Every structure is written in structure tokens, then in C-alpha cells.
Amino acid sequence: MLLGRNTKNPIVMVDKKITEWTYSTCGYCSVGCSIEIGKNAEGKIVGSRGVGGADVNRGKLCVKGIFEHELFDSAGRGDKPIIREQIGEAYRETSWDDALDTMADKIRDIQQKHGRDSFAIVSTGQLLTEEFYTLGKLTRGVIGTNNYDGNTTLCMASAVSGYKRSFGSDGPPGSYEDFDHTDVLMAWGSNLPEQHPIIYWRMKEAQEKRHFPLIVVDPRVTMLAQNADIHLAVTPGTDVVLQNAIMHVILDEGLEDRAYIEANTVGLEQLESEVAKFDPDSASKVCGIDPDTIRNVARIYAKADAAMSIWTMGINQSTHGSDGVVGINNINLLTGNIGKPGGTSLSITGQCNAMGTREWSSCSGLPGYRALENPQDREDIAKYWNVDPEFFPKKRGLAETDIFPAIELGEIKGLWLVATNPMTSLPNTARIRKTLEKLDFLVVQDSYADVETVQYAHLYLPAATWAEKEGVFTNTERRVNIVRKATDAPGESKSDLAIFNALAQRFEQSAKMNFPDKPAAVFEEMKSLSKGRLLDISGMSHDLIEEKRGIQWPYTAEEAERGEEPLQGGKRLYTENGTFSFADGMAKLVPLPFIDNNEVPDEKYPYWLNTGRLVEHFHTRTKTGKIGNNNKYSPIPFMEINPDAARELGIQHQDYVRCVSRRGDAIVMAMCTQRVPKDMVFIPFHFFDCVNRLTLGLLDPHSRQPAYKQSAVMIEPIADQQAAAQMSRERRAF
């Protein structure tokens, strides 16, 4: 039929007239999707699409990736270095030479007066691996401060620490392909649809082909929890108790894999005596999961041919974060579920290159998973870089979350922040503001000049972002993938690599060292330092990585020489018995006593405060807060509150309310939903001057990661809604 007219009208549809696609890897989360950036004949970037032949995402992208090309001309980008003598003064534009000379002088000055470690550096998970490696070389080999860390302490430190404690090294042993083989999947504090939608899709694809039970541990009824076969609505901060109880059942009922344990682990006896204390009946009183369900879950998991666990911030961001990771590893070691198809402990990482910084930035040690504590490692790197091994500290310095208290105490006088925004991201904003005010010199190096921490900086350096430069990222499944340059950075912005190199030149010590300009040349150094190590990348090259749409490590020069193609996916670690990274090749079963040290709700602050992520936003919104087709789904902060609680408090759906903790207050819009229990509220963490005004952030003893998800708050209705709206509006510059 032709309804509506006699003759057909020509159809007009949007044609972006893309003439060139540039291959890249998404710069948001750690899933590591291959993405192509489309440019029209005038050279303007107008589109993006998922790469069809890439194993990770197979043509798909999430809501952020689909609009990632709009980053390049988004608001708030810096284009010139700006400087001022004191905070409170206005900034003035300056030249790069002047900016970097001043910076080098200030670093030298502070270090001379207060010691080498009085200047601290906090980087990120956002840079390219070549840049991380170069920053590590500059910090460890030239500047020589031991107070150097990445903001990965806020997201992945517990996973790193847990992997090291169980397996002897960092490095997630599994692969996305494990979803295709597993017989049960347990997700601990991980909400794939919201946080890692592409991994969710890979999981869903696998599950639709071959159903396997999904068990979700989460105090909130997330979409994943709702879709789970079993949802364990655990009491916040008590995952370790649940894990111990599960192990109690496994060992009690003889469901463990004795042969695997004997061939691969040490410490069974100590573990057994610890978990003996956690019978399901007592454990259920603490963790809130009934004893029958604990037994049921333990049996399902232990009896499966292959079982895997994934986790994200629900485990990591807790005072028992590292323990929680070890607990997951313990369960998998007991049941023989490491290093086999469908059996793994797979931490689902946060930032696009959190893995790259863990591997190569020297933040917590030396490049290539080397440790400062290991004399041989210090020797090897010193030789390779041509520095005196004695210049290196002999043990790791402060983590990010200890650097800030050290500033508070006056031990650290200068700070260089690279692509991180602690004003929004660290717990207890009020304390962070006071801390930043104390600095003699703060440098903020970021793609965005409106990143909130610039309020306290003395020098701001504009950096290129994502595909304005070239280099590699490593994703959650250890896949090294490449970002190709699609466009120039705005104004005078420089790539972080160029900034590091230019700063290095201003220190005498760098003269005898090599700081290559080209990312590919830096990659060659990394390859050579990776030879024979767990994270061997010596078989890769930038071009081969692009051709294969990413390569999982290890892929060695020997394999490449033998003509062995890298696997498309499914590369695993610890596949052979007794090949763990401890000297004896055995993994450790670590007993996990539980001490409840969280701030728990009481009469005065009767609600749990839970925090987390939204799919449309990334981190502190400096990127997604400016892209309308991301931002519009949550343009202002809101709070999920149970309708029954709201009714008692006299709060209506969509009212602004005031949340108060022992640290401060925040204004949010109430969303009444039964997704949260009556004694809990949930506030997304992306917004400036919001939830982190409330959070306590007790630190994990092993990883120094803050417990963002366990604080206590009270909630007050606001009579003057207009004033609240204005206050909320004023806190949103974007």
C-alpha cells in the first residue's frame, strides 16, 4: 500500500558522509571494546561504531562508547597551560616552557627543603600504557619520590592485593570466553548491565546458548540481581562472612577438589580451622543470608564442573576488599576453578587502562609486575634505565589514600595530579578541600580545565585525551589493544607522553637515560622488559595488535617466531598445576578472620549509604556530563530510597532531600523505589559535591582502598524545595 499520498516522496535520512574510520580502543571502562572513529571529508569527527570483527565487543558499544566521538569538541577542554602564585588568585596563561620550568623548579625546591618524598605524584587509569611506563621512569628514575600512586587505589587496589596474596602476582587469570564454558557464574558486588554492559552482553549471549545458573551477591536489586537465578541480598560489608560460610559447607560436606588443592595450594589446614568457625547458622546472623541458601549456593558452586566468579566494587571498595578477593580465590582454589575454561576468579576492572597502570606504571613497584622490595628487580630496571639501583626506594611508598593524610600532616608539600579528580572522587570532600589548601604547589594535568580539583591548583597543564594520541590499553582479560590517533588535541594541549618527556628533560639525571618520543619505541622497551615474565608481551607490536583487534598476554616473542598466531580469546593464566607466581608455584589458601569495623547505621544515622555507578556516566562526569545523549538520563544527583522509609520521613518521590552523615551533607532528588531495602539508600558517585561529602571511606588494611559503600546517614525532608533546587543547580557547572 501507499497510504498518505499519490506519489512517493524522496526519503531524507541523516548521512554523516564518513570517509575514514580510525581504529581505536574505547577510553571509558576496562572492558576494552574496539571502536572505530568516523571522520568526514572535511576531517571532522562525526561518528563512532563498534568493530565487528573484534573479539571483545563483536560490533557492540554501550551508551558511552556510542557517543565517545563527541568528546573531542566537548565543553571545558583546556587548551593552554595556566598558572598562578596562590590559590584564590586568578590564573594567567603561560607557555609550556615557562610552565614546565616552573614545575621542575618547584619540585626541586620542595624536595631540597623537605626531602625527596615530600613531592607526591598521583596518576590514573586513563593514560596509555606507554605513558604510564614513561611516568614511572620519570618518577622512579628521575624525580625519585616514593610517594607515587594511581587512582586505581580507589577502584582496583583490592583486586591487585587479593591476587598477589593468593597467586603471588597481579593479573586476572580468566577471560570473557569463560562465560561460554562455565556451569555457574557468581557475581559478587558486580552489576554488569550498569557498569560493564558489553561484558553483560557476552555473558547473556553465552547464557542464551547454554543456560547456567547466575548467582548475584548485592544488597540492591540491580538489573543483574533481578535477572539472577539466586539473589543474595547480603548485609553490606559482610561478604567475607558469606565466603567463609560457603567454604565451611564445601569442606564440611567434602565437596572440595582434593587433587587440585594438593597439586596447587598451600595453607589448607589454617583455612580449615578458620572457616570451621563460620557455620551457616551463625554466619547467617551476620551476613543476612539464611543458612539453607548458603548451603544451597555452596553446593551448586562446588558441584559444578566449572564455576567462575566475577566481582567489582562491591567487593573492592570495602574494609575487607582485599580479603573479599582472597575469599573468592579461596573458594575457586578449593573447588579447582582456576586456570580452566569456565573456572576463574575474574575481577572486572574499572578504568580503560587500570590494568596498564598496574602492569607498567611503577606505581606500586617497578614495571612489568616487578617489586621494589626485590633486589634483583631493582637491579634489572636500574640497569635497563641506566640509573643507580640505590636511587630506588627499597619498599613501596604511600598509596593515594595515605598521600592525602600525609599532606594533611605537612609531610608532603607538593602534588602532581595526572588525569584524576580527587575533589569529586575521594571520600569526605570537606577533608580533601582542607588537605588541598595546605599544598605549597599543586599541578593538575588533565584534558579538562574545568575538572573541579583545578580550584586548588597552582599550575594546570592541558593534556590530550584518548584518540588524540597513540598507544595501548590493557583490558580486564589482559588484552592489549591499541588506540590510534584520530584527531589533534585542542589548542596547545600535549599528549601526556610529550609532557612527561619534556619535564624529564628539565632534570639533569635524565640526560644519561633514554626517553623515546614515539609510543611505538616506548612499547619496544616494555616488550623487552616483559620477556619471560607473567605479562610477556614480547610477541606483540602496535600493528599486530590492531590487526588482531587486541591480543591477550602472555604472547611471547618465541610464539611469534614459531608462527603461532595469538589466540582470538580464551587465553588463561595458571593453566598448569603448580605454576602460580609464588616461588614454590603454589597458590596460598589464606584464612580470613572477620572483624566488623564498618560504620553501621545507628539511632542517629539510621540508613546505610550505598554508592555506585550509572551506565550513562563515567567517573566524575568530566566527560559524560557534557555529552547530552549520555547526561540526560541522570543530569542531577538522585537517591534511591525505599518508599516505606520515604513515607515515614514525609518525603515524596522527586523531592529534594538532605542527606547527612558524620562528615557533611548532600542534596539529592529522592527516587522512591523498592530496589533498596528500608534501611538503605543508594546515591550514584559521579556527581561533584555530592555523595563523597558523606562517605567515610575507611581503608582496607591490605590495599588501602576506601570503603565507599558502607557509611551511615540520616535523611531530612527539605521544606524549601526551591532553595534546594537552586543549591543543587549551583553545584552543577556541568
Partner 1 sequence: MLDVRSDEPEYSFLWDKETKAVNQHGNLIDLIDEDSELHCQSLNINGDPGIGDNPNRYKQHGFFLNADNCIGCHACEAACSEKNDNPAHIAFRSVGFVEGGTYPDYQRINISMACNHCDDPVCLKGCPTRAYTKYAEYGAVLQDPDICFGCGYCTWVCPYNAPQLDPVKGQVTKCNMCVDRLEVGLKPACVSACLGNALDFGVVENIPENRIEAKTAIPGFPTTDITQPNIRFQQTRSTHREMTRTDAMPMKYHKDDSVGIFKPKVDKKSGDKKHFNWRKLLTSHESAHVIFTLSTQAVLGAFLIIVSAGLINIEALSALNSSAVKLPLLGIMFSLLTYGLFKLNMHLGKPHRFYRGFNNLRLSPLSREIAGVSGFYTFLMAYGFFSIFDNTLFNFLANASGVLGALSGLIGLYYMYKIYRIKARPFWDHWQTGSAFFGNTVSFGALLTGLISLPLISNEQALLALASPLMVLIALGLGLELIGHIAHSRAMGSLENEGAASWYLQTTQYGKAWITRNVLLGLSFATALLLLVTAPGGNLAFTAWWTLALLMISAGAISRSLFFVLVIPTTMPGAFFWKNKAFEEHARESGLVDMEQVGVVRELHGKFKLDELLETIRTTSPSTLYRHIKDIVVWKKIR
Query: Interface residues for partner 1 in 2-61 (CB under 8 A)?
Result: 2-16, 47-48, 51-53, 58-61
Write down the least CB distance from residue 59 to partner 1, Å.
4
**650 interacts with partner 1 by CB under 8 A:** no
Write down the least CB distance from residue 209 to partner 1, Å.
9
357 phi and psi angles, rounded to 5 deg: -70, -35
Tally Cβ neighbours within 10 Å of residue 647: 11
- Which of 204/370 has CB closer to partner 1? 204
Between CA 403 and CA 406 the distance in angstroms is: 5
Enumerate residues 6+ apart whose C-beta is below 8 A from 311.
159, 187, 188, 189, 190, 324, 325, 328, 347, 348
Which listed residue (39, 106, 181, 231) binds partner 1 by CB under 8 A?
Answer: 231
Write down the least CB distance from residue 626 to partner 1, Å.
6
Stretch that binds partner 1, among 107-115, 483-491, 649-657, 694-702 (CB under 8 A): 649-657
Which listed residue (671, 681, 690, 694) binds partner 1 by CB under 8 A?
Answer: 671
Which listed residue (259, 434, 654, 716) binds partner 1 by CB under 8 A?
Answer: 654
Write down the least CB distance from residue 75 to partner 1, Å.
8
DSSP 312-366: -HHHHSSTTHHHHHHHHHHHHHHTT-SSBTTBEEEE---BTTHHHHHHHS-SSSB
3-state secondary structure of 273: helix
- Which of 103/615 has CB closer to partner 1? 615
For strand 587-588 and strand 34-40, is the pairing parallel, antiparallel, or unpaired?
unpaired
- Which of 25/322 has CB closer to partner 1? 25
- Which of 197/324 has CB closer to partner 1? 197
Tally Cβ neighbours within 10 Å of residue 410: 10
3-state secondary structure of 624: helix
Q: How many residues bind partner 1 (CB under 8 A)?
A: 77
Which listed residue (136, 189, 368, 677) binds partner 1 by CB under 8 A?
Answer: 677
Write down the least CB distance from residue 301 to partner 1, Å.
20
Closest CA to 168 of 265, 247, 271, 311: 265
**638 interacts with partner 1 by CB under 8 A:** yes
- Which of 60/106 has CB closer to partner 1? 60
Amino acid at 286: V
Closest CA to 142 of 134, 151, 130, 150: 134
**390 interacts with partner 1 by CB under 8 A:** no
Q: Looking at residue 441, what DSSP letter applies?
A: E
Write down the least CB distance from residue 593 to partner 1, Å.
29
Residues 597-616 that bind partner 1 (CB under 8 A): 615-616
Write down the least CB distance from residue 201 to partner 1, Å.
4
Stretch that binds partner 1, among 113-121, 239-247, 499-507, 669-677 (CB under 8 A): 669-677
Between CA 593 and CA 24 the distance in angstroms is: 45
What grid cell was written down for 473? 590499553
Residues 170-199 that bind partner 1 (CB under 8 A): 193-194, 197-198
- Which of 93/205 has CB closer to partner 1? 205
Between CA 417 and CA 70 the distance in angstroms is: 25
Is 178 buried (19+), middle (13-18) or exposed (0-12) by CB count in 10 A? buried
Between CA 19 and CA 24 the distance in angstroms is: 16
For strand 441-446 and strand 459-462, is the pairing parallel, antiparallel, or unpaired?
parallel
3-state secondary structure of 665: strand
Which listed residue (101, 104, 108, 223) binds partner 1 by CB under 8 A?
Answer: 223
What grid cell was written down for 690? 555530592
- Which of 160/615 has CB closer to partner 1? 615
Residues 198-217 that bind partner 1 (CB under 8 A): 198, 200-201, 204-205, 208
Per the listing, cell 570532600 goes with 429
- Which of 35/261 has CB closer to partner 1? 35
3-state secondary structure of 35: strand
Between CA 360 and CA 125 the distance in angstroms is: 11
Which listed residue (95, 653, 716, 720) binds partner 1 by CB under 8 A?
Answer: 653
**E strand segments, 333-380:** 344-347
- Which of 380/655 has CB closer to partner 1? 655
- Which of 16/394 has CB closer to partner 1? 16
- Which of 216/333 has CB closer to partner 1? 216
- Which of 570/635 has CB closer to partner 1? 635
Closest CA to 363 of 700, 129, 581: 129
Stretch that binds partner 1, among 115-123, 323-331, 406-414, 672-680 (CB under 8 A): 672-680
Between CA 491 and CA 76 the distance in angstroms is: 12
Residues 496-525 that bind partner 1 (CB under 8 A): none
Write down the least CB distance from residue 587 to partner 1, Å.
34
**258 interacts with partner 1 by CB under 8 A:** no
**374 interacts with partner 1 by CB under 8 A:** no
Closest CA to 24 of 672, 657, 545: 545
**479 interacts with partner 1 by CB under 8 A:** no
Residues 74-133 that bind partner 1 (CB under 8 A): none
**66 interacts with partner 1 by CB under 8 A:** yes
Closest CA to 385 of 189, 527, 204, 525: 525
- Which of 406/641 has CB closer to partner 1? 641
Which listed residue (513, 636, 660, 718) binds partner 1 by CB under 8 A?
Answer: 636
Write down the least CB distance from residue 13 to partner 1, Å.
5
Which listed residue (600, 673, 701, 731) binds partner 1 by CB under 8 A?
Answer: 673
- Which of 53/532 has CB closer to partner 1? 53
Which listed residue (303, 527, 531, 678) binds partner 1 by CB under 8 A?
Answer: 678
**726 interacts with partner 1 by CB under 8 A:** yes
Could you tell me if residue 621 is left (phi over 0), alpha (psi between -120 and 50 degrees) or otherwise beta?
A: left
Between CA 217 and CA 200 the distance in angstroms is: 16
Contact predicate 440/416, CB 8 Å: no
Between CA 154 and CA 177 the distance in angstroms is: 27
3-state secondary structure of 393: coil
DSSP 678-728: TTEEEEES-STTSGGGT---EEPTTT--EETT-EEEEEEE-S-HHHHHHHH
- Which of 627/712 has CB closer to partner 1? 627
> Do you find a cis peptide bond into 554, omega within 30 degrees of 0?
yes
Write down the least CB distance from residue 447 to partner 1, Å.
17
Stretch that binds partner 1, among 290-298, 455-463, 597-605, 667-675 (CB under 8 A): 667-675
- Which of 378/548 has CB closer to partner 1? 548
**674 interacts with partner 1 by CB under 8 A:** yes
What grid cell was written down for 614? 550509572
